[in-house]
Structure 1
């Protein structure tokens, strides 16, 4: 009997050990706004730190059960678990799950030039219409992040005592090669901001960067909802990522008609159609979705279709637009990413 009891205790310890292997509980601080970052494709990332004294860092993953609300700073406990088995090249080594929210504190956002995506429209007196140069100024971290024409870039900046004056340090970024026009624009933009001091002036939807002689060096625009939907409407969007798996999804695509609030596309096998309604600036609800009824003989295509239609059926999704991607989130989880079809 004694041996049986010892064996039982040993077995229980083994079970508990296997359940908790590779798992730990962490305290995490989450900043009140997201910033542009580069994952599988251009996206927006949470900013987090694990010690309140450290610098903020990009967080590319999803925290299960955590519904981030912009404008609030969080202190949370999360359970981080090491993934087992073969991990896809574009996936994280860990899974994160919310354990508890310790605090949620509203933060007064600085309105105007900070924490706002700006798209370059004029540089050294020349009109820029590519949309390939944009940035966000993060006041809290003293950093500027965005795209400089071809590559993603970042730079540190210092606020000066004069109102809305900043000094930008040397920039750093990725090292991709693009077409000659893009590279030329990137070089001119990089030279314009590197180690320069600017007075920043906001005029309605325009942001001007002036030098100390009051000359406008750069002008940016803040996209309005009309701008966003005009961009969405003029493009056909092909599914390139579904539930964090990036691949070629064949015919799966989506198209919008903002004038009629109609949506159509293909879910991999069948065509679909319906309507949608908007809530605020970044939430969308698809309504009354219908589709053709062809049989999907390919099991993977059928699986894609089922998932895609599920996300498009009466769920409150958040969306955002990067340079070439249209992204949909369920809660804080990126569930679908579409790329422009050229």
Structure 2
């Protein structure tokens, strides 16, 4: 009888231990999810688009914005006239708190919104939500204190027409269907384009300092003759390029600090 009781007790203890193990593992999934959210909020420049329900507009060079430095847990930004900085803490369930911010003391009279109202957002906010490239800073479950959009680098979402390859000007062949071009899609981080005869696509990644890397490049296999450009040489540009420069509507894809591998011009359609 005692043996039966001991055996039953061991079974119960084992069952409890297993259940406890499962329960302690469940929050780990949440941590992964929250870490992913932290990645989203700390890797971007966030531009103010709405404050207390009112749309905010500004010129290209005077956006109100902030960025979060994940390595130092510091925030820095621009409030319309002055720069500001401070510290922040991220916790589970998209909780966020900002320390008292320090700001420069320039006097401006043409700011799109009172700077004190911008800084007050960071004083009050205790959580955030991210949806469709928009970031909302909130207090409790009320309407957002402010809405920010992800900054889009100049290189993406533009139609880049090839102008020169390896220093040589490029002209269309008579039998060429269309001009050689590429587009970087911001939402999918994919590149698509036309190489003179074949279409191509792949993925790209942007990093600080105008660094760019292309991967998983693929092209259709049509055969075309009498082209003024070697498609393989053109596609090799994306294999070699590791940085870019933009001046106005001209884009250079480069490797290191050498002369551009290829030069492109932005084309706008109305």
Short-chain TM bin: 0.3 to 0.5
TM-score normalised according to structure 2 size: 0.46
Structure ID, larger Rg? 2
Q: Which has the higher strand share?
A: 1
Q: Which has the higher helix share?
A: 2
TM-score normalised according to structure 1 size: 0.37
